[in-house]
Structure 1
Amino acid sequence: MMQNGITTSIKPQQVTFIVPGAENFEPTEISEFVQKAHDNLDPALLEFAWNELLEKNKSVTVQELAEVIYLEVMMSNIDCSFNDLFLSYQMIFGSAEPLETYCAHLLLSRDEVYFAVLESKGLSVYGPRTANQVDELLRRKLAKEASEKEFEELIQFLRSAKQKPPQDKPPRSSWKAEEKTWHKIESLEAFAIDSCKNDDQKKTAGMILKAMGQAKTSSAAVNLLIDIGYFPVHVNLDLLKLNLPTDHRDEILSAAESLLSTSTDLDEADRIDLTPLKVYAIDVDEADELDDALSATRLQDGRIKIWIHIADPTSLVQPGSIIDKDARRRGTSIFLPTATYPMFPERLAMEGMSLQQGKLCNAVSVSVVLRSDGRILGGKLNHQTDIYVDI
């Protein structure tokens, strides 16, 4: 090919389609020709041609398809049969014009539904798919388009969340509101902590990172989850890798609030009143949850009796309840330099189950009597008790 006095060669593998009748095109005309072709593309005409050819059970070349497709434009304004119009078209033009043929080629090259390639050696021949095949392919196409739209909406949401200041970022629970969104965020989280369960999670995470302009690495996934507010800034990845829960589900929080507002002590009638005792809790100043305390009294014979009081969560939480099951699953509260992750919902632990100063508290108490040298003489489990924490 000669352009601007320079000869350029084109390799055979670079040729995707040879437009019939376009041998004498000047290089300067190609751009205009291509633009006209794109301006004249109408996918609806491909469906029209499929209906016509399926009815006749006929296979066609690209040129023949162009003749069928672009007769539709003429048929919309002329009152005659398809066969008559087809013959008239052939009499006038002989065969499809280069522009129409190239348009037909573009439509077929993008088609995933209506036509299948029957022969690809030399001149390609296309045959109409069956109605059942087209219905299934259309269903898949619509599903794919819906999935792509959902993914794009997620990416827009991620970009929006990333730009917001920390106080305005979506709460962690909001990412779990819709199952499809949560599935993708869950995949990204699994990729971030190197715990993907399958290749689908890796693929989903990779797609998200690519769409967000990030490298496909676990550290990039961690940073993205921090940027959108899903992870805290000082996230502890070890907790996540060990699958240790760091928050409570909404139903657990709701059950905890219900206990605080409506629960009654089922053991109230059996509790021993130890409120006359002076009760001391020893802990750091910033402690929010006090779960043990001490008392001491001198007996008439001079010996010392020590009381050990332990907060009684069973006064609120019954065995087998939703909160009991969740606490059993957690096993313990987790105390770290950067955060505390309580076994029970925070307000329930600090208010309902804690030994609060100046308030009547439910406890399980043990007493021991000490000899004069400090050795234990004997002890007693006093079961459920009522106490006041003085200090």
Structure 2
Amino acid sequence: MTTLTPSFNVFKQLKLPMWIAPKTQDAVTFDRTYIVIAVLMYMIGLVMVASSSMPVAEKLFNNPFHFVIRHVIYIGLSVIIAAVFLTMPMHKWKEYSGNFLLAAIALLVLVLLVGRTVNGSTRWLVLGPITVQAAEPAKLFFFCYLASYLVRRRTEVMEHVKGFYKPLIVFGVLAFLLLNQPDLGTVVVMFVTTIGLLFLAGAKLWQFLAVSAVGISAIVALAVFTPYRWRRITSFLDPWADPFGSGYQLTQSLMAYGRGEVFGQGLGNSIQKLEYLPEAHTDFVMAILAEEFGFIGISIVLFLSMILVLKALLLGREALNREKYFEGFFAYGIGIWMSFQTAVNIGASAGIVPTKGLTMPLISYGGSSMIIMTIAVVVLIRIDHELRLQSLQATKKGGQT
């Protein structure tokens, strides 16, 4: 049996109430809490997209429900596609992980060749009436590949430097393609998740610290030597220095947070959504939620996100306990990814971190993000289901004996 690493033992000692982390020995064959959380976040997202997008939709398309209708379609597509992936056993994810990685690279190359350019960024593939943001499936596919790699090369990761750096080379290829779009936000999310998974897999602390230092230095260099990124950094540090220029979006977002106070102005009563705050229904939907529902509204969304992330991490712990290493690392990767992307999205709208253009999982408007995040939740449900079946089978065998 493989020895557990100290970082894994931290999660092993963590205990939460039964309603958050129900025992896998229960007769129920999957954890309904994932569905409840996802549906609640869908509903909150639909309400906020409707509230925040109507003014701009009326202006651009002469139809206030334009984005609402599309968001409902995205949710429907997400459920249908996720239902298909729910039937896919986890050993198939592991078996096809290499193919998923190649698909991720192919999508990122294709978007650079024939993708649509919006506001100086080439991130979208146009497939008839549908646009696909290539970076979204690339994240999920890369984390699937990384989980598979950590199973195949775990001893090498723990004992040899080359085992630690090999996945970073793959990450470097993806990062290069993403930076050419450019999409630094996705690179940062993938980097943090990669380092987190390598650390949980047992990589030595000095390797973790060294790569973290190099990665942070590279991100700083990319910001300093790229004019538009440097403007974002400086405007984030002091948006009020140029409130009608580089700091405009953030100052409008901060006004939304300020107006929301504790209980908010009430649904539909946001002023910032009246074409003052750009991207109000996408990257900055949480600012409108804060304005209309205040601190209470933001706290509810954060609570739901926290429960989903905690369940993913605890599921990873349970899988590793049962020596289901691929499932465990995949669940850990999804948990780290969701937590960091949530933190960056809310942090950017609240002026805590620079704007990165990352969506709020399961809430923001955006088909690609909605579909991929739903698939990620379905993967967690599938892992939980297989662990429960394993427990039921073990119980039946014990009873027969």
TM-score by length of 2: 0.21
Per the normalisation by structure 1, the TM-score is: 0.22
Higher helix share: 2
RCO higher in 1 or 2 (8 Å CA, sep ≥ 6)?
2
Which structure's CA Rg is the greater one? Answer: 1
- Higher share in strand: 1
